[in-house]
Amino acid sequence: MNTKGSVQGRFCMKSMLITVREATLADLDTILQIRLASFQGTEQWQYRYPFYHNYPEDHAISSRRRIEEYLKDETGASGHVMLAETPCSEDSEVKIPIAWAVWRMPSSHDELVSAAELQTPEVLKQFPRRDTNLAHVKAFKSACKVARETCFGSKYGNKQMFLHNISTQPDYQRRGAATALIQWGMSFAEREGVPVTLLSNSVGIHLYTQLGFKSLGSVEVRVEGDSEMLFITPMIKEPKSSS
């Protein structure tokens, strides 16, 4: 994926300098650690992976495979990974990774099935996933697919920049890291003249709204007959050039 001219970004957020750069395979374990620390306890994690505390290794192995897929995919079709860092207070040459984001770049929106997510009997034998509620995972995926197709797919097709995933290390939250990562994506999308699209959870809504995203409603995720449910909110930020 050619992101030439936009790979780096410097942002000064709440007196913390944040740089944004493309992640590489060398960042794999750092990103895994941020993902595991930040998503634990969120509603969508709890819903899909209610047994992750009992089987942390199943959860970590699968998450690691997924991130590795993104990082190995140079086309950006499965995901283009960006990392936010801040200089260490003792030595500004040393950078501390604090947040990451996965983007589906414009022109890469074909329906993709991640190998790490395939739960065939063979895969499950090799990589057991005892952390998941499979019915909830399926319902979540299906709701996301419908929401993306209904709200964005038919209108924008490949001409959108989709934020697939974002999270910040808990110790560094509320200091502008996610904002810096999204601003990187918004600048890229602006230059391409495409909107930024995403599906938010309830925490994300505050973040995206203050960046100018508009909600397009909400989509229920629920297995028939099940009392547990959650909502996802499709959101969009059109490029300035379109107004």
Instruction: Identify which of residues 39 and 152 has a Cβ nearer to ligand COA in the complex.
Output: 39
Instruction: Identify which of residues 120 and 210 has a Cβ nearer to ligand COA in the complex.
Output: 210
Instruction: Identify which of residues 78 and 179 has a Cβ nearer to ligand COA in the complex.
Output: 179
Name the residues that contact ligand COA, by CB under 6 A: 38-39, 42, 99, 166-168, 173-179, 200-201, 203-204, 206-207, 210
Cα 147 from chain centroid (whole Å): 16
Is there a contact between 130 and 55 (Cβ–Cβ < 8 Å)?
yes
Residue 113: C-alpha distances to residues 101, 107, 133, 141, 172 (Å): 19, 17, 19, 11, 32
Report helix, strand or coil for 169.
Answer: coil
Task: Tell me the closest approach of the beta carbon of residue 61 to ligand COA, in angstroms.
Answer: 20
Closest by Cα among 220, 242, 233 to 156? 242
Is there a contact between 59 and 156 (Cβ–Cβ < 8 Å)?
no
Instruction: Identify which of residues 39 and 188 has a Cβ nearer to ligand COA in the complex.
Output: 39
Instruction: Identify which of residues 14 and 155 has a Cβ nearer to ligand COA in the complex.
Output: 14
Q: Which helix (H) or strand (E) is 82 found in, with range?
A: strand 80-87
Task: Tell me the closest approach of the beta carbon of residue 233 to ligand COA, in angstroms.
Answer: 9
Task: Tell me the closest approach of the beta carbon of residue 82 to ligand COA, in angstroms.
Answer: 13
Task: Tell me the closest approach of the beta carbon of residue 202 to ligand COA, in angstroms.
Answer: 8
The rounded distance, in Å, linking the Cα atoms of 6 and 25 is: 19
Task: Tell me the closest approach of the beta carbon of residue 213 to ligand COA, in angstroms.
Answer: 11
